[in-house]
């Protein structure tokens, strides 16, 4: 869980700059779910 939390935080910081942050998060969640 620690790794997931760290990855999520890093992704959040990186995606923060992107305009499609929501889309990226949805894609990541969708792929992660699989």
C-alpha 34/C-alpha 32 separation (Å) is: 5
The pLDDT score that the predictor gives to residue 20 is: 66
Instruction: Report the pLDDT value the prediction gives residue 16, as an integer from 0 to 100.
Output: 60
- Taking only the tens place, the pLDDT of each residue in 1-34 is 577 788 777 777 776 666 667 787 788 888 887 7
What is the value of pTM for the model shown?
A: 0.35
In the chain, the number of structural domains is: 1
15, 21 in Cβ contact below 8 A? yes
- pLDDT of 6 reads 81
- What Rg, from alpha-carbon coordinates, does the chain have? 10
pLDDT at 10: 78
Give, for 22, the enclosing helix (H) or strand (E).
helix 21-33
Range of the domain at 6: 2-33
Record the tokens describing residue 21, joined without a space.
């942050």
């Amino acid at each position: 869980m620690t790794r997931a939390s760290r990855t999520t935080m890093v992704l959040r910081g990186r995606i923060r700059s992107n305009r499609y942050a929501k889309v990226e998060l949805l894609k990541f969640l969708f792929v992660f779910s699989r």
